[in-house]
Amino acid sequence: MALEVGKLANVVAAGYPGVVLQGDSNFQRLLKGDVSAAPDLNLTQGAVQSLQAGQGGVPLIVHTASIAKGNSGGPLVDGCGRVVGVNTFINVDQSQSAKINYAIRSQVMAGFLQSAGASARNDTRPCAAKG
């Protein structure tokens, strides 16, 4: 888990968005009871657009890695594979044909884990991955 990520840093969102799962034959088999079938993990690349404070001061990452329903709760990772955030919601503005993707920053999740009696290893070294 990385504590901070900077603007324009490369990130990857991972998850199982419903719109992608609809056409996944393994997911259809899983729904029919085949516990050996696993849907393919959906990965999208993007970059950090800005770092914001959301409602109540919650630290957020605005990013361009495409997310949809089903990505919520999934990780947003940097080029070194460290969790920098947890994908949480999107904001769609149809009048401007815009969709903005949001993740809660990892330090919030580290605090949550501590309050639940769990721990996370924080790696604050810069990520030197080339994208």
Average pLDDT, rounded, for the chain? 91
Q: Which pair of structure tokens corresponds to residue 8?
A: 């324009």
Would the pTM count as exceeding 0.85?
Answer: yes
pLDDT tens across 15-63, in order? Answer: 999 999 988 999 999 999 999 999 999 999 999 999 999 999 999 999 9
| 126 located within any domain | no
* pLDDT at residue 109, rounded to an integer: 87
| 129 located within any domain | no
Give the percent of the chain with pLDDT over 70: 96
Distance separating alpha carbons of residues 90 and 51, to the nearest angstrom: 15
Range of the domain at 90: 10-115
Confidence label for 3 from pLDDT (cuts 50, 70 and 90): low
What type of residue is 78?
D
Distance separating alpha carbons of residues 85 and 2, to the nearest angstrom: 8
2 against 27, higher pLDDT: 27
Number of domains, the chain: 1
| 5 located within any domain | no
* pLDDT at residue 1, rounded to an integer: 52
Element (H, E) at 98: strand 98-105
Q: Tell how strand 75-78 and strand 59-63 pair up.
A: unpaired
DSSP 35-95: TT--PPPEEEEEEEEEEEE-GGG-EEEEE-S---TT-TT-EEEETTS-EEEEEEEEEEEGG
